[in-house]
Structure 1
């Protein structure tokens, strides 16, 4: 199954997440199919906390990809802000 989920990056105590399309059997931070955005929970000042390519998310969900609960919440927040 294909899932849209977060892949963690960044340093210790400074998390940064890529929003990726990946096979559900692969590791969280391992190989992925496509990067569709990012989430920076510790963004400050002029830094952008969330960027998402809605057209690619819609494309993948139309083709059967499932959203993880956290990504689903982030997509809803981004749509409300837009």
Structure 2
């Protein structure tokens, strides 16, 4: 099953997360099918970068699930999904 979730990157004590569409059976930082945006927790405002909201909506319509963390981030940053 395809899941929209975070993938950790960056360096020690300075993470940058990539929002990806990946098979739920793959490891957190393993293989993914598509990059959908980035999240930088060090930034106070506008910490979501380059979000592909249309593509996320499209994947959700096709049956993909979204992780609780990504759902919370999208709501906090007022990203609307159709």
After TM superposition, the score normalised by the length of structure 2 is: 0.87
Given that 2:6 and 2:19 are in contact with CA atoms closer than 8 Å, whether structure 1 keeps it comes out as: yes
Cα distance in 1 for residues equivalent to 2:58 and 2:5: 15
The yes-or-no answer on 1:29 pairing with 2:29 is yes
How many residue pairs match? The answer is 78
Find the residue that maps to 1:79 and give its secondary structure.
Answer: coil
Match of 1:59 in 2: 58
Q: Which secondary structure does the structure 1 equivalent of 2:77 belong to?
A: helix
Over the aligned positions, Cα root-mean-square deviation in angstroms equals 1.6
Query: Which structure 2 residue ranges, 5 or more long, are not aligned?
Result: none
1:6-64 Cα offsets, whole Å, 9 max, x none, are: 000000000100000000000100110100000000126xx851121110110110011
Aligned 1:1-82 pairs, distance under 5 A = 1-43=1-43, 48-51=46-49, 52-79=51-78
Which deviates the most, 70-79 or 7-16?
A: 70-79
Q: Which runs of 5+ in 1 are unaligned?
A: none
**Richer in helix (by share):** 1
